[in-house]
Structure 1
Amino acid sequence: MLFRQLEYFVALARERHFARAASSCYVSQPALSEALRKLERELGVPLVRRGHAFEGLTPEGERLVLWARRILADRDALEHEVAALRTGLTGEVRIGVIPAAASTVALLTDPFCVEHPLVRVRLETTLRSLEIVERIRRFELDAGIIYERGVDTGGLTRTPLYTERHVLLAGADLLAGRTGTITWSEALEMPMCLLHKEMRGRQLLDEALAARGLRAAPQVEADSVVALLAHVSTGRWACVVPKPWLRGLPAPAGVRELALADPVVTARIVLVTAAGEPGSVLGSALVRTAGEIDLAATLGDPSDTAPS
């Protein structure tokens, strides 16, 4: 059994298409198909359902692809460990990031890159917490920054980063005469744009509001905080965003910020990585960096306020 055969197998499971899998491995389709047939003969079980085109993995293939991913991940970890012994950490660390943390992730990756200048960082910032956790378990990501609540992180290592608190942003005219704090009941009377209901950040808001007998009915929903800020910048809309987001991307000119109360909505953001040894050397290094910096203090962590 060769690593190359396992790489082809994992690529086919990912791409679900022979030609695309071959292209991603920089080999011809016949070469990929022949390598997979040899792997099946060596293992003594069928891995791929074949017809005129790829028809999926067999039940045996679905089980064994998990082992293939694990073996390749361990090989990568071994190579990184050897490289670290020689010259310091090298390679690429893959980090999945929920949209709410897209503007704060640099507070972690910047010091990490300073400490490990030979490591490349690849960020994916449009993923949801559940997808990030699943991809870490499939060894497709080394680490993730997610909401702690609402997703099963069993078998993963969790490192607390900070607690976000949501605030209201609106044009100065909409907030005329208001200062400091606004209640949700008052805020919901404004023309509102919010994240759409499938996103965890929005679900946290809806859960907290439902506990107070309130309901948000925004006219505009989006899957991007940037899109919300663009609407607010017109002066005719209000939106709710995580306070830490504004550190990396300040509110547009002419837009004011008010704290939201009754209820106060907070959510804990954590770094998750695969547990166990040897694990990802790069993921472990990222955890060490997270432990050396104080994101909570930098972002004004409101953890002294009980989450709603």
Structure 2
Amino acid sequence: MSDLILHHYPQSPVAQKIRFALGIALADWHSVEIPRLPPKPLLMPLTANYRRVPVLQIGADIHCDSQNIIRAIASAGHANTLFPDGCVGQAMALAGWAETAMFDLAVRIVITSAIGTAPPEFIADRGALYFEPDWTEAGMKVALPAVILQLQAHLAWTDDMLSATGFAIGSKLSYADAAIAYIAWFLRGRWDGGAALLAPFSHICALEEMLVGRGNGNTTEMTAEAALAHANAHEPATPTGIVAGFDAGLQLGQQIMLRQRGQTADPDVYGRLRYLDDTRISIDHTSPETGAVAVHFPIAGYVVSAAAPL
């Protein structure tokens, strides 16, 4: 069976970014659907307590965060389609900008607009993940027009960028296009005002339509229990060592903690340092459900520090 196992749920915008990328790559992959809200008892044993989605599993190697997931998919034989002509740096930089400049604004718009209609527990959970600790529903509603104006400005720049060829980089589809299209997909599908805001930006809309039409690759359903058993039947296949130019004084095998950037309710992640380079950090983790797994994170966007031994 395919080595690519994606843990996700259909409504997740970040998972849709990865699904668009799998469609660009025409990849074969297994789909494991997980709950939108905690607890996630069939996911978090794999991830050392990391709760966000999507998560990519390849045997007993568990890749967290879309930055890391896309590099793992590329390394599994899809580099030429996701990063044509060696555009890795350009595509990753554009994707990082889209996430911090546009997606954060889009999340505020969608969640604020859903107040009063979405389940209160969903609003509370997502607010704790994405907003300031002292956020209030009233304050979010007051700020909403200014947030929409900010996003509109970024959409205008992005649409102009696409105007030359219809693609983010050169004249070929790449991961950078998925990183733009998913924001349009999210706004259109989850906010009543999304279609109207997007309508003037014809190049963004055309790119979104292209990727929706292309599909999400070739998918086979898999149960979460089967994915856990799959991890237990394998061993991590990724390397060990420290090859970063700056290692922050960390040592191989040392207990470390990873914390999501910013002020968020995400739980901290603990494990023993397995690997460190300039862009990726990996920890060893063991659970009864999975046996020994390696859990991989990007460096960008995470605070990494030594932790007291458990």
Max Rg structure: 1
Same fold at TM > 0.5: no
Relative contact order (alpha carbons < 8 A, sep ≥ 6): 1 or 2 greater?
Answer: 2
Structure with more of its chain in strand, by fraction: 1
TM-score, length-scaled by structure 1: 0.22
In proportion to residue count, which structure has more helix?
2
